[in-house]
């Protein structure tokens, strides 16, 4: 996709990967509707930028976002579903609302937005890009719910591509741990999965992937190499997961009080 002059919707645009993507899209000459829960209060402005507050877990809010874009700019050529959040936690008692909240934001909204793009564009070309995670392939201790939402995204994309027309692309991004506010808010003792990338590196990789219409975008070459190698030496992923589990168990041991655990288990939006 040639980006200059295109119309794009970007969710989760106020921080982290989303903010870095926003900067790159605007620099490339893209007309952007940037959305987040508090986007209209952000101090970031640009002549090609329109800001819209949006609760991505609400279908009504998503409908308003598309209607706003159609009214102000026209039919979107590009949708980047970047909004979402993670829980780092040990799952406790059964909690339907807790499970539903992360799936509504990370999975249900994404599927709905993809169908909206298809409905609005009909047979015309468009690119739909979504931020998944390396955990789509390797589930991590402490991220049972988060890993499952990212695996669901990957499964939906693999199947939904068969329903798209020529020139319509469903692109999935598989970043590794990214230096955003999540780990800062979660606490200094929260283990950070290896390897780690910056939000700028991930955003630059996504832009290159959009321009080349790649179905799968891997910002970390190291992680991509690990996946390929694991096909031939299938002990690599289990060894990696066991190592991360040791970090998780140590974190549980050090989080001695329930108050500390409640603070660290709280949801933190990721970009």
- Which residues are tagged catalytic? 146
Query: Can you list the positions of beta strands (E) in 82-238?
Result: 84-86, 126-131, 168-173, 177-179, 196-198, 216-217
| Cβ count near 88 (within 10 Å) | 24
Q: Using the structure block, give the residue that is written with the tokens 């719910």.
A: 145
Q: Which two tokens stand for residue 93?
A: 């008692």
User: What's the DSSP call for residue 36?
Assistant: E
CA distance 63 to 72: 14
Q: Which two tokens stand for residue 32?
A: 């952007």
CA distance 252 to 35: 35
User: What's the DSSP call for residue 40?
Assistant: G
Q: Which two tokens stand for residue 6?
A: 């295109």
């Amino acid at each position: 996709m040639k980006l200059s002059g295109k119309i794009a919707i970007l969710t989760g645009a106020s921080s982290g990967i989303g903010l870095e993507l926003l900067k790159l899209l605007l620099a490339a000459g893209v007309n952007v509707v940037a959305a987040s829960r508090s986007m209209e209060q952000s101090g970031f402005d640009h002549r090609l930028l329109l800001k819209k507050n949006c609760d991505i877990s609400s279908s009504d809010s998503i409908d308003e976002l598309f209607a706003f874009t159609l009214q102000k700019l026209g039919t979107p050529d590009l949708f980047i579903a970047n909004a979402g959040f993670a829980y780092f936690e040990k799952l406790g008692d059964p909690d339907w609302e807790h499970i539903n909240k992360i799936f509504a934001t990370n999975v249900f909204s994404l599927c709905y937005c993809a169908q909206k793009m298809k409905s609005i564009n009909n047979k015309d070309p468009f690119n739909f890009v979504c931020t998944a995670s390396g955990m789509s392939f390797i589930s991590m201790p402490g991220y049972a719910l988060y890993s499952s939402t990212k695996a669901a995204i990957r499964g939906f994309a693999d199947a939904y591509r068969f329903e798209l027309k020529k020139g319509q692309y469903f692109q999935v991004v598989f970043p590794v741990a990214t230096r955003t506010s999540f780990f800062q808010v979660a606490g200094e003792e929260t283990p950070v999965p290896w390897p780690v990338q910056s939000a700028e590196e991930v955003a630059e990789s996504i832009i290159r992937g959009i321009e080349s219409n790649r179905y799968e975008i891997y910002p970390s070459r190291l992680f991509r190499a690990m996946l390929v190698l694991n096909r031939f030496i299938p002990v690599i992923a289990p060894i990696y997961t066991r190592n991360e589990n040791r970090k998780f168990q140590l974190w549980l041991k050090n989080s001695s009080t329930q108050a500390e655990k409640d603070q660290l288990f709280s949801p933190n939006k990721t970009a």
